[in-house]
Each structure stands twice: as structure tokens, then as C-alpha cells.
Amino acid sequence: SDNMSEALNREAFRQAVVNTLERRLFYIPSFKIYRGVAGLYDYGPPGCAVKSNVLAYWRQHFVLEENMLEVDCPCVTPEVVLKASGHVDKFTDLMVKDEKTGNCFRADHLLKDFCKDKLEREPNLDPKKQAELRHVLAVLDDLSAEELGAKLKEYAITAPDTKNPLSDPYPFNLMFQTSIGPSGTLPGYMRPETAQGIFVNFKDLYYYNGSKLPFAAAQIGQAFRNEISPRQGLLRVREFTLAEIEHFVDPEDKSHPKFTEVANLEFLMFPREDQVSGESARKIPIGQAVAQGIVNNETLGYFIGRVYLFLTNLGIDRDRLRFRQHLANEMAHYAADCWDAEIECSFGWIECVGIADRSAYDLRAHTDKSGVALVAHEKLPEPIEVEKLVIAPVKKELGLAFKGNQRMIVEALESMDEKEALELKATLESKGEAEFKVCTLDKVVTIKSNMVTISKETKKEHQKVFTPSVIEPSFGIGRIIYCLYEHSFYTRPSRDGDEQLNVFRFPPLVAPIKCTVFPLVQNQQYEDVAKQIARSLTAAGISHKIDITGTSIGKRYARTDELGVPFAITVDSTTSVTVRERDSKQQIRVNVDEVATVIKEVTEGLSTWGDVLWKYPTHTA
């Protein structure tokens, strides 16, 4: 069928890309001499350079351009933080075990494989059955442990390798667990995302920003997920680099001062309604999407536009990039809106950036757990009268009853929300005492009616106190880079037509090496000129490589095309040299003492290749 041959083509294309990537050390399976570990990869020299270029551009495009507050927090995280964020309880995948060998599998993977396989291999299957399997595939992500288990039983699915029976599905927490300090009493995890490090610092960062909203904090760093059985090669790994932005904003004003700068950008969007009604993604100017309420607010829209610019400037193909809105059932209950930047590659449409309006959820969760109020204050234009609940702990009584714990209990009483406080008040009035949970002590204490007074008072307020909303663009750097490799890869015949040569068409911004220097033949004069040019490139901060092997110039070009090096300087005289552009293979002649400047201009985007082609004589080999 067409589907099958397309799948085979995709598979062959991917193999060609991955072979090139591994042969040229863009990636190396980690610990390869020890047979490796699934889901762990090294970046070899060119991959490491690409990554460092992508991160430098991310910093330039987001952090510097928007004056974000960048922070750098540890990977090792104590349990309490991830308990508050919900990861300890909910960051799980459903797993089944081979009942004889103990091998583990993701329950949804097995069901998915079964359905896909059946649909592909049995084209004459009863249409009703086909529809059923398609339905299972569509709702796969929503199935509960029980529902998944029932389906596995119904289809008699067994362990893929051994055909042994499987256990019922049960949740497996995806965090790498460890223990902090020598006593074994302080459990910790390797962080599953970098965002929590920013949330817990909200108070300090807000103060650092002059106690003004909006502002954004950003973090680049490693994150970890102990996947049950990593598949999809470089896209699903157990350790990866995230770049995350947490933009804090007044929930009542999510406008963005620079929104007009992106409003006219037009790119593929895939709103929720279009997905439900079976339509395709379509081009919508982001200004219109916000005006029509398709995108919830300007700030979210601004970041969608900025992400579009970031990805396409890196070299992601705009026709294989779309912004897909989360369906209602995909989105967390607290989220106001959520869009994924999805990039199409040989594995299908892959989520590479998530852009979510998480409302006040995260700051509230840490306020509740820590007892430290993560809130913003804003002076009101004029004071207003409000009826307010006043909680006044009686410190003396609490001190007598609870000694050293007094402060924690006072803080816990003061941080009750209105509902809790009114319930406590009612219980104290009816029973004279009440059980009270103190999270920071992790225990329940008995509060008597003489220990706290709770009353409603009318007060004049001069400022509004509120929990900011968080708008979070979160970038999976490794996934973006992998998709970039696929979008940049092509092959073309060698000069004599007897083989296909690989090329990565990286823009200079991304290219691991900007320029190579080749003496045309092995002689001392040319080598000296090459070294002189190399020194001037170093001084100009242009990464480059000299190749003084006697290999044919064609082979040397082919080797560097495969690394995506955009420019090659060939030293074929002592006064002027040829500069070759990778994709057009056009060549120009430039004086030796000018060449570093020319390369700097075209790699830093001050001139295009077209500009210099116009300015310098062309060269025909």
C-alpha cells in the first residue's frame, strides 16, 4: 500500500541520517564499549558544537532580548519539592511485567503495537473491527490502568519476545531516585524538569526584579526521566537538556507590550476545534488567532511567535512545523491554554516545545507546601474597602503548647485560605478545639479556641495581593536538534556521478564548524598561508579546521559537506584564495588578508552569500 511504501521511505531516510550522524560522531551511544545503555547518548564533537550553538542562540533570542533572569539550579532535588509539584504522586507511566522473566514494558506501547500491526497486516479485516482498533489508538493516552489492562486481556496480548503472560498494568514513577547525604533519611530525585527550581525562587526573583510584574526567569539544564523502555532513538532518552522559561504575569492583564512585533507572523496552527472536526492545520496570523480568542492571550501568542522565529532561524522547515493546541482531555485541569510546537520528522509529528499558560497552579502548590507566600503585591490607584478574614494566632498560648514548633504553626495558621479558616473557626466555636494539619511539620496538632482568633473585618486596602499566572515555554533541546538534522539532510551525486554524497544544509548560526581551510596541494608555502588564515579566523572568533592531508580536494569538500560546514577556503596561491559555499558550490576569489573578514560577515549574518558573490570575482574550477 501507499502507506507502507511511505513508511519504508521514511525508515530508509532516517537510516541514512542516523548512519551519517553516528559515523561522523554527532552522536555516540553512551558507554558503547560496555554495550551502551538504552536511552543514553553522547554528543560527539560536531554534535556538541551544534548543541552549544543552539543554546547560545536560545540565550540570545530569549534571555538577552527579553532581559530574562537566568538561573542555574541543581539536578539533585529533595522529595518535598517534587511532592509539592505533584511529580512524586503523578509522574508515572503504566507498566506491565513479563510474569516469568520480569522484563518490563509500557502497557500503552504494547496495545498500540498490537492495533497498528493488525491494521497494517490484515487489510481485509472486518470494517467494524478496524474502526474499533482505530478508536483504541485515538483514545490510548486517556485509558486508565484498569481500561488498559482490560484491553490487553481482551486482545490476549503477551510479552513481545517470550510470549509469556503479562501482569496487570501498574504505575511506575519515571524519576531517578537517590538519597541525599549519608544517613539515608533524605530521599531525593534527579529533577524531571528545570521549572521547579525557578518556582521555589519566585520570591527572591520578584524582589530582584524590583517587585514588578511581568518578568520572566529562564533556565537551561539537564533533566532526567527513567523511561520504562526507550524507543524512537534520539527522541526519547533518559537524560536530556531542557531550556525553560517561566513568565510571571498578573492574571488580570496578560497583554504583552511587544505583541505587535510578532502579530503579522503567519504559520501553521492547529486549533482544538479543527482537530476535533477532522480538519488540517492551517496558516493563521498569530495576531488574528489572539484577536479571535483561538489563542487565550497576548503573552501566550507572543511566545508562540517568538518560538516560531527561533525554530525557523535555526533551520527548521516552516512547512513541517505546526503549533497544535492541546485538546481538553490533554490539558491539566488548571491550565488556561496550551500549545505544542510540533515538528514533522520520520517518526511523525513530534512535540519539541510546549507553550502553556499554567495559571497560578505551581506557585500556589509551593505556597501551600512550604508555608512561604509566593505572591505579588501591587499598589492600587486608590485604596478600596474590603471585607477581610483576619487570622490572629495567639503566640503566647501556641508557644506554651508547642514550644519550638510554635513558629511553624503560626505560619501554617496564617497561610490558611478563606475556606479552611472558616471551617476551623466553626469547629473551634462548636467543639472548643480542632485537629489542624501542619504541612511543614508533617503532623496534625490540636488547636484550642484560645490559640487563634479568626474574624471578618472591614479594612481599607492599599494594595492588591495575588498569585501571578505562569506562562511556560519549555524546549526539548535534543528533540529540536534531531529534527533539525532530518530537515537539514540531503544527498547529491558526486562529480563523476558514481556515488551519493551526504550534505547537512545547516545555516552558519548552527554549523559545528564555520569554515575549513585546505591547501590545494601539499607544499610548505600553501601550508604557511593556510596557517596564517587559520590564525586570523581564530582572532575573529570563527571556529574552523585545517585539513592538510593530501586527499583530493573533492573528497575534502565531501567530508566537510557531511559535517554541514558552510564555507571552505582553498589555498591555491599565496596572494588570493577561493571561498566555496556548501549548497550552491559557487566559488569566489578573495585576497588572503581579507578572507577572515569575509567569512566573519557571512557567518554572522552581516552579509549574505549573495552579497559577497556580487562583490568578489567568481572562480570556476
- Measured distance between the N- and C-terminal CA atoms of the chain, rounded to whole angstroms: 46
**HSE (CB half, 13 Å, CA atoms) of 489?**
21
Binding to its own copies in span 277-296, by CB under 8 A: none
Going by C-alpha positions, the residue among 569, 369, 378, 356 that lies closest to residue 471 is 356
- Could you give phi then psi for residue 474, rounded to 5 degrees? -130, 120
Minimum CB separation of residue 81 from its own copies in Å reads 6
Residue 169, classed as helix, strand or coil, is coil
- Select the span of 143-151, 225-233, 279-287, 314-322 touching its own copies (CB under 8 A): 225-233
Going by C-alpha positions, the residue among 217, 199, 5, 49 that lies closest to residue 563 is 49
- E strands along 278-417, which residues? 282-285, 321-325, 337-345, 348-357, 376-393
Closer to its own copies at the Cβ: 250 or 411? 411
- E strands along 209-360, which residues? 215-224, 239-249, 266-270, 282-285, 321-325, 337-345, 348-357
Neighbours of 377 (CB within 10 A): 12
Options 20, 85, 194, 226; binder of its own copies; rule CB under 8 A: 226
Closer to its own copies at the Cβ: 370 or 467? 370
Does 600 help bind its own copies (rule: CB under 8 A)?
no
- Select the span of 31-39, 123-131, 426-434, 462-470 touching its own copies (CB under 8 A): 31-39
From residue 470, alpha-carbon distances to 100, 327, 361, 408 in Å are: 47, 20, 8, 28
Closer to its own copies at the Cβ: 92 or 427? 92
Residue 595 CA to residue 520 CA, distance in Å, equals: 16
Binding to its own copies in span 495-534, by CB under 8 A: none
Cell numbers given for 405: 514548633
Going by C-alpha positions, the residue among 484, 552, 560 that lies closest to residue 515 is 560
Minimum CB separation of residue 423 from its own copies in Å reads 26
Minimum CB separation of residue 224 from its own copies in Å reads 7
Closer to its own copies at the Cβ: 254 or 544? 544
- E strands along 394-507, which residues? 433-438, 443-448, 452-466, 469-476, 489-493, 500-504
- Select the span of 134-142, 202-210, 377-385, 410-418 touching its own copies (CB under 8 A): 202-210
- Select the span of 1-9, 204-212, 307-315, 325-333 touching its own copies (CB under 8 A): 204-212
Does 31 help bind its own copies (rule: CB under 8 A)?
yes
Closer to its own copies at the Cβ: 64 or 444? 64
Q: Which residues contact 216 (CB under 8 A, 6 or more apart)?
A: 66, 68, 69, 245, 246, 247, 248
Binding to its own copies in span 541-560, by CB under 8 A: 541, 543, 545, 549
Going by C-alpha positions, the residue among 398, 395, 439 that lies closest to residue 415 is 439
Closer to its own copies at the Cβ: 64 or 131? 64
Closer to its own copies at the Cβ: 58 or 616? 58
Does 260 help bind its own copies (rule: CB under 8 A)?
no
- Report which DSSP code applies to 449: G
Does 210 help bind its own copies (rule: CB under 8 A)?
yes
Minimum CB separation of residue 201 from its own copies in Å reads 6
From residue 533, alpha-carbon distances to 4, 21, 305, 413 in Å are: 52, 29, 40, 71
Does 28 help bind its own copies (rule: CB under 8 A)?
yes
Options 9, 15, 211, 222; binder of its own copies; rule CB under 8 A: 222
- Could you give phi then psi for residue 87, rounded to 5 degrees? -70, -35
Minimum CB separation of residue 389 from its own copies in Å reads 24
Binding to its own copies in span 58-87, by CB under 8 A: 59-60, 64-65, 67, 69-78, 80-81
Closer to its own copies at the Cβ: 215 or 339? 215
Does 213 help bind its own copies (rule: CB under 8 A)?
no
Does 399 help bind its own copies (rule: CB under 8 A)?
no
From residue 351 to residue 380, the character string flagging contacts with its own copies as x (rule: CB under 8 A) and all else as - is ---------------x--xx-x-x------
Closer to its own copies at the Cβ: 2 or 34? 34
Judge whether 560 and 568 are in contact, CB under 8 Å. Answer: yes
From residue 115 to residue 154, the character string flagging contacts with its own copies as x (rule: CB under 8 A) and all else as - is ----------------------------------------
Does 331 help bind its own copies (rule: CB under 8 A)?
no
Cell numbers given for 116: 497498528
Judge whether 454 and 362 are in contact, CB under 8 Å. Answer: no
Burial class of residue 457 in the structure, from the number of CB atoms within 10 Å of its CB (0-12 exposed, 13-18 middle, 19+ buried):
exposed
Does 190 help bind its own copies (rule: CB under 8 A)?
yes
Does 52 help bind its own copies (rule: CB under 8 A)?
yes
Minimum CB separation of residue 411 from its own copies in Å reads 11
